[in-house]
């Protein structure tokens, strides 16, 4: 038997569900750590009286950290294990979120956001790998989709806390909230076992039996790990799908972070007060959930290719609508549309990317695609803030977002392959 079949046989469904809940709480922490900026940035800028250049640095610092964290965490987890890497990264995220709350200058704020970003960016692939390696094949796709959907719950949780406290207690409490959130998760993770796959590959069958709590009578295939060079992504068979999915990840990340990081400022440009802008931003965070739900419904009924093209087209059209509306009811409707379509796109690219590559290339394909998202996350807050400062409105930056989504919709329609109902290699 291979290791996946062993896990499917010996890991009870209840245990897998508990791990889904825990890893989803960690995923929520990452979401909260990233999206806290959306609701606190106006207050942070005001308290430090930061200029345009420093505003961009404060907005993008966490994404620089996330890029480095995402690149290095896989190597670290292969050396010391998923469990201990997980704990180490949560410590970094929690401790430096606490230091962020104590920042006394824009540069300190940017530095501590960068350092906490190392933890947040590293946690995403490590937490995902941990759940994947503990989950049976037949439910893995559903569990990973549910884990990804918890991003919206984390955004809503930190949004609600910030809305209730930012006016009375200030922005620093939101970052302290992140630190206290990480503490019980660290304690719980200390009591969890190592990933069964990592234990088997590193220490053999005895270590696996100890983790699973069962005597395994079957012989287990020791499949060697195959490392593929980056160039394999650009082989004739994979070139068009690699370009298509890289552009897709870059586009959806650019729209998401460009929009949500500066959402309060975007709403203020539409004539709303600062407090109303925060409430509208929180409303957009809530409306992420229907996007995930719609994607979950469409992915197995309509299929990957048509659904992804549909969500990209919807995001692009919504961006144009949001730039053009002038009344509050129309602004609410546009906010609902762009949140729904953007999060539907996120869910689709997240679920679709692993199906584009065979097993020996899947980690490489996933990792490089995620790197494109991190790069877009760094660039988007800078460009959005700069264009809004330059023009005083959102028309130009929303046009850029719409163009990116339009190009992505065309590439998906032209070059995406349909993987619905097909066995992946």
Q: Cβ contacts of residue 421 below 8 Å, gap of 6+? A: none
pTM score of the predicted model = 0.82
pLDDT of 250 above 60: yes
Q: Which residues of 309-331 are buried (b: 16+ CB within 10 A; e: fewer)?
A: bbbbbbbbbbbbbbbebeeeeeb
Considering only CA atoms, which of 244, 252, 257, 253 is closest in space to residue 353? Answer: 244
**Residue 32, CA distances (Å) to 26, 106, 169, 207 in order:** 10, 21, 18, 35
Structure tokens given for 59: 């907005």
Q: Exposure of 25 by Cβ count < 10 A (0-12 exposed, 13-18 middle, 19+ buried)?
A: middle
Q: How many CB atoms lie within 10 A of CB 160?
A: 14
Question: What's the pLDDT at 283?
Answer: 86
pLDDT tens across 64-79, in order?
999 898 888 877 887 8
Distance CA 358, CA 148 (A): 22
Return mean pLDDT, the chain.
86
Q: Which residue has the higher pLDDT, 409 or 203?
A: 409
Distance CA 59, CA 68 (A): 16
Same fold, 1-225 and 227-425: yes
Q: Residues 1-225: name the CATH superfamily.
A: MFS general substrate transporter like domains (1.20.1250.20)
pLDDT tens across 281-312, in order?
888 888 888 888 888 888 878 888 999 999 99
Structure tokens given for 263: 């959402």
Question: What's the pLDDT at 165?
Answer: 93
Question: What's the pLDDT at 31?
Answer: 93
Considering only CA atoms, which of 113, 38, 69, 41 is closest in space to residue 288? Answer: 38
Give, rounded to a whole angstrom, the gap between the first and last alpha carbons of the chain.
18
Question: What's the pLDDT at 138?
Answer: 73
pLDDT tens across 82-93, in order?
889 899 999 999
Architecture of domain 227-425: Up-down Bundle (1.20)
pLDDT of 49 above 90: no
Give the mean model confidence (pLDDT) for residues 144-149.
80
Domain boundaries, given as residue ranges, for the chain: 1-225, 227-425
| Helix axes 304-324 and 239-261, enclosed angle (nearest 10) | 30
Q: Which residue has the higher pLDDT, 168 or 215?
A: 168
User: Does residue 2 sit in helix, strand or coil?
Assistant: coil
Give the mean model confidence (pLDDT) for residues 29-56.
86
Structure tokens given for 256: 């998401």
């Amino acid at each position: 038997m291979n290791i996946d079949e062993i896990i499917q046989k010996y890991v009870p469904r209840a245990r897998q569900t508990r791990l889904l809940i825990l890893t989803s709480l960690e995923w929520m922490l990452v979401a909260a750590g990233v999206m806290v900026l959306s609701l606190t940035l106006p207050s942070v800028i005001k308290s430090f009286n930061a200029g345009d250049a420093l505003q961009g640095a404060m907005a993008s610092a966490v994404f620089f950290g996330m890029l480095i964290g995402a690149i290095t965490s896989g190597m670290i987890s292969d050396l010391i294990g998923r469990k201990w890497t997980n704990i180490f990264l949560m410590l970094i995220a929690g401790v430096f979120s606490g230091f962020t709350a104590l920042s006394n200058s824009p540069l300190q704020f940017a530095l501590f956001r960068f350092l906490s970003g190392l933890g947040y960016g590293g946690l995403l692939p490590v937490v995902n790998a941990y759940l994947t390696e503990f989950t049976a094949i037949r439910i893995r796709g559903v569990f990973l989709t549910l884990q990804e959907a918890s991003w919206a719950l984390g955004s809503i949780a930190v949004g609600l806390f910030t809305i209730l406290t930012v006016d009375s207690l200030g922005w620093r409490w939101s970052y302290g909230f992140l630190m206290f959130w990480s503490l019980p998760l660290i304690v719980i993770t200390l009591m969890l076992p190592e990933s069964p796959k990592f234990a088997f590959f590193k220490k053999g069958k005895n270590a696996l039996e100890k983790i699973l709590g069962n005597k395994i009578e079957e012989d287990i295939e020791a499949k060697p790990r195959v490392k593929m060079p980056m160039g394999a992504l650009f082989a004739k068979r994979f070139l068009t799908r690699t370009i298509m999915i890289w552009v897709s990840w870059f586009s959806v990340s650019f729209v998401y972070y460009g929009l949500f990081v500066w959402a309060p400022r975007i709403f203020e440009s539409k004539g709303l007060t600062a407090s109303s802008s925060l409430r509208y931003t929180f409303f957009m965070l809530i409306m992420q959930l229907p996007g995930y739900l719609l994607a979950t419904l469409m992915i197995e009924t309509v299929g990957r290719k048509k659904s992804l093209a549909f969500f990209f087209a919807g995001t692009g059209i919504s961006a144009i609508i949001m730039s053009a509306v002038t009344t509050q009811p129309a602004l609410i409707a546009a906010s609902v549309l762009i949140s729904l379509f953007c999060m539907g796109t996120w869910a689709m690219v997240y679920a679709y990317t692993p199906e584009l590559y065979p097993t020996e290339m899947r980690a490489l394909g996933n990792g490089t695609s995620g790197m494109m998202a991190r790069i877009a996350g760094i660039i988007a807050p800078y460009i959005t803030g700069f264009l809004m400062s330059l023009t005083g409105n959102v028309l130009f930056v929303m046009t850029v977002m719409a163009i990116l989504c339009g190009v992505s919709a065309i590439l998906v329609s032209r070059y995406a392959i349909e993987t619905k109902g097909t066995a992946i290699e």
